[in-house]
Chain A
């Protein structure tokens, strides 16, 4: 089931099969409270996602919506509770030892925090040489030196000789993140998962990082998953956008349509909450009856609300939203939303509007 590209005639549909696909993936964590009561955190529920060569998919949502859990599922750190992750059409099951390594030859993850994802005790060179040795059997000092230089130049850390022998603490946040990206590139993966790769960086260098990621996509044909809570950067970099709320995917489709004309109330709220100088302050108030600030917090994932998980905060909530989870409604052009407003019975929508 290729969910983000249902119609072959749609202009966004890539003809080739996805490199990495998650089909109906669910992840529950068992937790135990101090008194010993067991409970289950439903971190990700029924996530379906396709990553294609040379395309960037943005996964947006607020903190705690399960974005990182999904990234880590895709990176192979967790095994899904149910559902399936397929790499080039082959379902990935047990990931141990050699299988794990061959999986990671194709899928690499960039962590959010460039200050935490480099071992402070290793030089830049060590970080880049290890994947070269592990995955490409590169031996010999001269060859390693050449490849390390190449990698550093690709992420624009020049002069490369100077950076190769530095320790992480001698680099700035942006330089560290470049090293992290270079390290992932050293593997020559097909899929790059970016878990909020720019959120810890200074605003002034975010654009450079986005351009770097964009170059990797166009030049190397990487499939990119770009996780963020920043709609503006998603709009800048991505082709498709998928919106997550409380562990569920609520809307997806090509970026322009999703951002310019959000169909799910949560997406609207998200888009409206990103600053836009061209928009009047009134628009948002008009949309949400001036009480969007009072819409409350995201729900607990231990005890999510029944029905649609967004209904306690949704200005358009109906009776059916409180009892039944909405089905996925295809809206054409590769767009879809999981909302009763768009479910088969469109009359409800009209009445509401």
Chain B
């Protein structure tokens, strides 16, 4: 019931609805992509059609073909898988690290806080992009997994600071102290008393992490740091750039992946607006109580009858 209500709260408002449907569409595309491209003839992202090289959109190739005679539509579908995979995995890693570092720092305070805060400050001031370049260059020849790991590993520090600040404020509230007086061990206090109050922040952080991950992957691919075999929106743009698609006016090559990245980012931002509303517990409390009261009334009526 709780998830249902949470969902009901989330789906309220057009922003969240639009955002969720766009993201849902791309996730479906990522999941069904291989099956789609395999089952529909002429939609093989890797097949080189030498009769159609650099063709603009046509009936045979809806989004045209690349300089290598590959179908852009097929590549965009296939690219959704790579880009979203990197986006979600790096967001999961980044968010998990942010919680692992920020939550104990804010909750325990003192020396623990000093050390963990030092660590996140270190990662904040570190020049991340050059470091990613070096690490990625060092691990050359590896796939999207490593890219996602690197992006996640270097992208948690800002989130850790946010979580730390929030955890600090929640930890000092009376109910945490009260449960401690009851004898609750620290891990229960951390994960059952403090963490649930940060859900809104974490969800927002995760969504912006997805945006960041998709963008960073595209950026890295554009700079040439990616697996040459893998197809993502980033690698598509990079290939287009290498073949001077802009100069040749082959807009159909780089506009679809670019548009997709922009769409996913916009959609995630829209969902974030809704999560922000949810992060304010008062908004949710009111709604929940209303629903429960209505249900209670229903059940009493039902039992009476």
Query: A residues within 8 Å of B by Cβ?
Result: 75-77, 100-101, 104-105, 108-109, 111, 113, 116-122, 130-131, 134-135, 167, 169-170, 180, 183-184, 186-187
* Min distance, Cβ B182 to any Cβ of chain A, angstroms: 5
B175: contacting residue among A75, A108, A118, CB under 8 A: A118
B177–A100 touching, CB < 8 Å? no
A105: chain B residues at CB < 8 Å are 183
* B contacts with A: majority SS: helix
CB 8 Å contact bits of B232-253 with A (1 = contact, 0 = none):
0000000000000000000000
Residues on B with beta carbons closer than 8 Å to the beta carbon of A180: 178
A76–B181 CA distance with the chains assembled, in angstroms: 8
**Chain B residue nearest to A110 in the complex (CB):** B178
Query: A227: shortest Cβ distance to chain B, in Å?
Result: 15
What are 19 A-B interface contacts by the 8 Å CB criterion? A75-B181, A101-B183, A104-B182, A108-B181, A111-B178, A117-B175, A117-B178, A119-B175, A119-B179, A121-B196, A130-B188, A131-B183, A134-B183, A170-B289, A170-B292, A180-B178, A183-B182, A184-B182, A187-B182
Contact between A130 and B281, CB atoms less than 8 A apart:
no
Interface hub of A77, A119, A130 (most chain B Cβ within 10 A): A119
Interface residue tally for chain B (C-beta within 8 Å)? 21
Are B182 and A134 in contact, CB atoms less than 8 angstroms apart?
A: yes
Residue B304 interfacial (CB < 8 Å):
no
* B228 sits at the interface (CB 8 A): no
Mask for B180-203, Cβ within 8 A of A = 1, else 0? Answer: 011110001000110011000000
- The residue in chain A whose Cβ has the minimal distance to the Cβ of B177 is A77
Residues of A within 8 A of B288 (CB): 167
The answer to whether B174 and A117 have CB atoms under 8 Å apart is yes
Question: B182 touching A131 by the CB < 8 A rule?
Answer: yes
Q: In the complex, what's the smallest C-beta–C-beta distance from A268 to chain B, in angstroms?
A: 34
Q: Which one of A75, A170, A184 has the highest number of Cβ atoms from chain B below 10 Å of its Cβ?
A: A170
- Nearest first, the 9 A-B pairs at minimum CB distance are A116-B174, A101-B183, A117-B174, A119-B175, A117-B178, A131-B182, A134-B183, A104-B183, A111-B174
Assess the A113–B178 pair: CB atoms within 8 A.
Answer: no
B112 at interface, CB cutoff 8 A: no
Contact with A116, one of B173, B181, B183 (Cβ below 8 angstroms): B173
A169:B289 contact, CB within 8 angstroms: yes
Q: Residues of A contacting B178 with CB < 8 Å?
A: 109, 111, 117-118, 180, 183
A187-B183 contact, Cβ under 8 Å, with A120-B285, A169-B289: yes
A120 with B182, Cβ < 8 A, contacts A113-B174, A170-B292 known: no
Which residues from 135 to 184 on chain B have a C-beta closer than 8 Å to any C-beta of chain A?
A: 173-179, 181-184
Binding site for A on B (CB under 8 A): 173-179, 181-184, 188, 192-193, 196-197, 281, 285, 288-289, 292
Q: Is the CB of A130 within 8 A of B182?
A: yes
A100 / chain B contacts, CB cutoff of 8 Å: 183
State whether B175 touches A135 (Cβ < 8 A).
no
Q: How far is the CA of A109 from the CA of B188 in the complex (A)?
A: 19
Q: Please, which residue of chain A has its CB at the minimum distance from the CB of B186?
A: A97
Q: Enumerate chain B residues within 8 angstroms of A183, measured Cβ to Cβ.
A: 178, 182
Which residues of the other chain, B, contact A122 by a CB distance below 8 angstroms?
192
State the CA gap A75–B178 with chains docked (Å): 10
State in angstroms the CA–CA spacing of A89 and B183 once bound together: 22
Taking the closest CB of chain A, its distance from the CB of B218, in whole angstroms, is 38
For the complex, what is the distance from the CA of A122 to the CA of B178, rounded to whole Å?
Answer: 13
Other A-B pairs beyond A118-B175, A119-B193, 15, CB < 8 Å: A104-B181, A105-B183, A108-B181, A117-B177, A117-B178, A120-B175, A122-B192, A130-B184, A131-B183, A134-B182, A134-B184, A167-B288, A169-B285, A183-B178, A187-B183
Tell me if A120 and B281 are in contact (CB < 8 A). Answer: yes
* Chain A residue with Cβ nearest B281: A120
User: Which residues of A are found within 8 Å of B174, using beta-carbon distances?
Assistant: 111, 113, 116-117
Q: A residues within 8 A CB of B177?
A: 77, 111, 117
Contacts of B192 in A (CB 8 A): 122
Find the B residue at minimum CB distance from A132.
B182
- Minimum CB–CB distance from B169 to chain A (whole Å) comes to 12
With the chains together, A108 CA to B177 CA distance in Å? 11
A121 near B184 with CB under 8 A, answer: no
Tell me which residues across on chain B come within 8 A of A119, comparing CB atoms: 175-176, 179, 193
